[in-house]
Amino acid sequence: MNISGRYKEEYPTSLCKKTKDTKLELRIDVDGKRPLNVLSGDIYSISGKTNNYQSSFIFERIKKIQKKNEVILIAQSGKFDPKNEVLNNFQVRIFLNSCPLIADVSCINRFGIKSRFLCKYSSEYYRTVRLQNDYEEGVKPFISYDTNTLTSNYLDRTHPMTIIDAFAEHPEWMRARGFEKEGIE
C-alpha cells in the first residue's frame, strides 16, 4: 500500500501541546514509482479561520519501518525555513487500517517541547494549484488539446490533454525521462 501523498491536520488532540494555534500540512514521498525518500511540510499559525504561513521543513534519508498495521517513518534532523525553526526526532506513524490513512506526527522543537499532530490523508498530489482560465468574450475557452496531432518522439503522449491533466502529469512525466528535480514542484 502506498502511503505517499499530502496529509492535513484535521483532528484535534488533547496531547497537542503548546502548538494548539498551529496547523501542519505534511507531504510524504517514500514509495511509488520514483520516491525521493523525503518528508516535507508547512506549518501555519491559526487565527480564527485564517491560516498564516509560519515555516517549512524537509527531512531527507527517511528510515522506514514496516509493521503489520502501520508504517513508521523516522528522521533525525532536517532543513528549515526560516532557519530559526528547528524540529528534531521527527517521527510519523501511518495507521494502515484507517480509511483514509491517518498520520500521527510527533517531534521536539528547539526548546525541547514535544509536539503532536494528527493528520488525515488528503491527496496523492503534494501541492494544490488554483487555476483561473480567462478568455475573451466570443472566443471559445481552451478545453483540451489532442496530443495525437503532435510530431513527437514520445509515443506515450497520444491522448487528449487538458490543462489540469498537464499539471497532474508533468512532474512524473519529467522524472520518468531523467529531468532533474529542480524546477518541478
Tens of pLDDT, residue by residue over 48-94, are 888 888 888 999 889 999 999 999 999 977 888 776 666 778 899 99
Examine the fold and report which residue of 77, 100, 123 is the final residue of a domain before the chain moves on: 123
**Which pLDDT score is estimated for 66?**
94
Q: Are residues 107 and 145 in the same domain?
A: no
Percent of all residues in the chain with a pLDDT value above 90, rounded to a whole number: 33
Q: Which of 18-22, 50-54, 120-124 has the highest mean predicted lDDT (pLDDT)?
A: 120-124
Which own/partner pairs from 178-185 qualify as long-range (CB within 8 Å, at least 24 positions apart)? 181/36, 185/126, 185/127
Q: Are residues 103 and 14 in the same domain?
A: yes
Per-residue pLDDT, averaged over 5-26, amounts to 71
Residue 80 phi/psi, 5° resolution?
-135, 150
Q: Please report whether residue 101 resides in a domain.
A: yes
| Cα-trace Rg, the chain | 20
**Which pLDDT score is estimated for 177?**
47
Q: In this structure, which amino acid lies at residue 91?
A: Q
Q: Please report whether residue 184 resides in a domain.
A: no
**Which pLDDT score is estimated for 168?**
67
Q: Please report whether residue 185 resides in a domain.
A: no
What cell numbers appear for 162 in the block? 487538458
Q: Is the pLDDT of residue 175 over 70?
A: no
Q: Which structural domain range is residue 150 located in?
A: 129-179
Examine the fold and report which residue of 106, 123, 140 is the final residue of a domain before the chain moves on: 123
Q: Are residues 145 and 104 in the same domain?
A: no
Q: In this structure, which amino acid lies at residue 124?
A: E
Q: Are residues 54 and 112 in the same domain?
A: yes
Q: Are residues 99 and 136 in the same domain?
A: no
Question: Do 99 and 120 touch, CB atoms closer than 8 A?
Answer: no
Q: Please report whether residue 103 resides in a domain.
A: yes
**Which pLDDT score is estimated for 118?**
93
